[in-house]
Structure 1
Amino acid sequence: MTVGAETQITDLTIEDHACLTYGEPEELLDLTAAFVRDGLAAGQQVVWLAEEPQRRLAELGRRGIVAREAAAAGRMIIMTCQEGLLEGQAFAVDRAMHWFRDRLARSAGEGYPALRVALDMSWALQPVSGIEQLPAFEEEMAATLAGTNAAVLCQYDRARFDPVTLASISGYHTRSVAAATYHHDPLLRICRQYAPPGIRLAGHLDRSAESALGLALSEAIRLEGDISVNMAELSFIDLYCARMIIDAARSLSSTRKAVLHCGPSISSRFLLLGASDVPGTRLVITDG
């Protein structure tokens, strides 16, 4: 059975003040890409406050999101937190909320039906004054969103933020979001990938995880369109599990494709088993 998040990223709606807790950079980028994709598809304006905006644009593009085109048209804005929430190395609730309310008004004035905002909260891990106001900020954001045409996704790294901080802000969010997970232990994580649709594998994968891998693949196959198997963070896969993935790709109809992303050491297993000869299957070797 799937061990899912309280809410799937694709379920978020207007007025949601959601808290995304992630454990890996790929998880953050995948779930944010889905949040952005769905907003753009609905004609909404999307804003993402994050570190290294140009790199984030490239990452969205790698996931099939037309982010650069949307940014050029003003439909998407990516900026640093210093440009929005902070003033230098200082944080104040009043200033941050003034920025958000101004952005909300400008979006409505430009004719957008709604606004989606993703906030990478990693800035709160830096030496910033006023950080003690973080719970007050989340409380004020929750109150401000009521009755608006906006949704906000606050992004917290659960490995870097301490449990006390996460507990202090969790009650101000209407929804808790994480990737639907099929298997998670210190050695292996198998979870759903949202953009592009498929599954994501990280760690050490062998036959002991056969059941979880089988469930993840079967659910991915039931989705429409092509599927992606993201193994960029996989350090080991045995031949049995590699065959399972190839068999899943082989089972797709002729109108669908399977794209297998992996590093050189993992790709050698798939090449040995003839994955490149399976119709509709593409092996993409990532840097590693």
Structure 2
Amino acid sequence: MPATAGHSKPVGSMELGDHLCLFFDSEAERRSVMATYVRDGVRAGHKVIYISDAVPGRDVAAWLGSRADAGPDTVRPQEDDGFDFAAALDAGHFVVRTAEETFLASGRFDPDESLELMATEIDLALVQGYPGVRIAGEARFSLRRWPGTERHGDFERMLDQVFMTTDLKAMAICQFDRRWFDEARLAELEAGHMGRVRADDHYDDGALRITPTFAPPGAALAGVLDAATSPAAEKVLASVASTAGLLCLDLGGLTRCDEAGLRLLADADLPGLGANRGLLLRGAAPELAGRLRESGLLARSGVAVVERTG
């Protein structure tokens, strides 16, 4: 079912009818979400329309398929499976437009004209036989003081109303860089969307969820880490840990951790990866933090535990 207000939805679970916002802190996070969105769309037979701004239009396919944003501490995104974005672009299933040609066709940004243009693009794709359309737009253009861009918030609210009241065979993600938009502006823009989108979870069995984090690189654990969930968690964490020199595990969402879970966390630093290895366990409840210290984990070089506050 479509997303609801205040909800954060994994990008791989998006459905036709969703109009979501992506608030990101790093290019690695944005690329992870957008690569999954485009890849899944092409594989589902959808027409994918990407409106670029921060990334030059000619470079979008290469950016999605590369790890150019990845430093030595970057966790490799799950979607790095060899998907050929350039081939999808050449085949016409994936189309890139610039923000300027999309939103300034008349010389100024006009919400009504922009909505009409999107409707035309969607209708054309459906006529071409695509069962659905995926739209992704970079929103940094709205900060450039182009004529009419002061109405960008109006445009998002109008677009959201169309998605909520019309049985659209389309979905959309609007991208907002937290480093450029202040919190008040982000709150206003979020109100013009059904909810937020995030990177797909590494793992979720209903008892334990492991979600990728990007700033810093690592994973967030939520739920129960015990004898039942530890075997699956061990496989996930080994895969995540092997791609990053410095790894952060956010434990703030853990509600219970038994001895099996404690042993898993105590071994999460993988010292065999070398001297540059580092592990930060943050957000641990005081009781869990005490047990981690008692395990002798902190005696190892490069390991730190930060307790949850409040």
TM-score range normalised by the length of the shorter chain: 0.5 to 0.7
Q: C-alpha root-mean-square deviation of aligned residues, in Å?
A: 3.9
Answer whether contact 1:201 1:231 (CA < 8 A) is retained.
no
* Residue 39 (1) aligns with residue 41 (2): yes
Deviations 1:223-262 (A, max 9, x none): 9xx9566867x6799xxx9x73658xx9xxxxxxxxxxxx
Amino acid at match of 1:53: G
* Residue 103 (1) aligns with residue 105 (2): no
Per the TM alignment, residue 111 of structure 1 is displaced from its structure 2 partner at its CA by 0.4
* Residue 177 (1) aligns with residue 177 (2): no
Q: 2:9 aligns with which of 4, 7, 10?
A: 7
Answer whether contact 1:33 1:65 (CA < 8 A) is retained.
no
- The answer for unaligned runs of 5 or more in structure 2 is 1-6, 67-79, 203-209, 249-264, 278-310
Q: Give the percent of matched residue pairs that are identical in Structure 1 and Structure 2.
A: 24
Q: Secondary structure at the match of 1:116?
A: strand
Q: 1:244 aligns with which of 265, 268, 272?
A: 268
Q: Could you say which residue in structure 2 is the equivalent of 1:283?
A: none
Q: 2:92 aligns with which of 74, 80, 88?
A: 74
Q: 2:58 aligns with which of 54, 58, 61?
A: 54
Answer whether contact 1:48 1:117 (CA < 8 A) is retained.
yes
- The answer for unaligned runs of 5 or more in structure 1 is 183-190, 193-198, 251-265, 271-288
Change (3 A) 1:168 1:73: same
* Structure with larger Rg: 2
Amino acid at match of 2:235: I
Number of equivalenced pairs:
226
More helix, by proportion: 1
Amino acid at match of 2:50: W
Per the TM alignment, residue 169 of structure 1 is displaced from its structure 2 partner at its CA by 2.3
Change (3 A) 1:236 1:15: closer
Which of 100-109 and 63-72 deviates more? Answer: 63-72
Answer whether contact 1:50 1:80 (CA < 8 A) is retained.
yes
Deviations 1:77-120 (A, max 9, x none): 01211121223863111221122011101101110000000011
C-alpha distance in 1, partners of 2:47/2:276?
Answer: 43
Amino acid at match of 1:244: A
Q: Could you say which residue in structure 1 is the equivalent of 2:206?
A: none
C-alpha distance in 2, partners of 1:67/1:220?
Answer: 32
C-alpha distance in 1, partners of 2:63/2:242?
Answer: 14
C-alpha distance in 2, partners of 1:106/1:140?
Answer: 21
Q: 1:166 aligns with which of 183, 186, 190?
A: 186
Change (3 A) 1:222 1:87: same
C-alpha distance in 2, partners of 1:93/1:151?
Answer: 18
Q: Secondary structure at the match of 2:174?
A: strand
Answer whether contact 1:200 1:230 (CA < 8 A) is retained.
no
Change (3 A) 1:88 1:175: same
